């Protein structure tokens, strides 16, 4: 489970960086659109991943007040 979590976050980071680099280095509008799509996809993955991490962490019993 931990390996999948790490791979997911690595994929999010790579997509974000590739999207930003493509967006900055693009000369034509079609390449800029591809960079924007990659950046938007990585931000969506970031939001979903953070939500899932929050749910997983909230369901863990870490010896709290329960």
pLDDT of residue 62: 66
pLDDT of residue 64: 59
| CA gap 44, 46 in Å, rounded | 5
Q: What is the pLDDT of residues 15-58, one digit of tens each?
A: 999 999 999 998 999 999 999 999 999 999 999 988 888 887 78
Domain locations along the chain: 2-51
pLDDT at 66 over 60: no
pTM of the model: 0.76
**Dihedral sign computed on CA atoms, order 14, 57, 52, 5:** positive
29 or 5: which leads in pLDDT: 29
């Amino acid at each position: 489970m931990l390996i999948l979590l790490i791979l997911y976050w690595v994929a999010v980071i790579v997509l974000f960086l590739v999207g930003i680099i493509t967006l900055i280095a693009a000369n034509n509008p079609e390449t800029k659109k591809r960079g924007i799509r990659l950046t938007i996809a990585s931000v969506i993955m970031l939001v979903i991943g953070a939500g899932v991490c929050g749910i997983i962490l909230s369901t863990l019993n870490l010896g709290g007040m329960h």
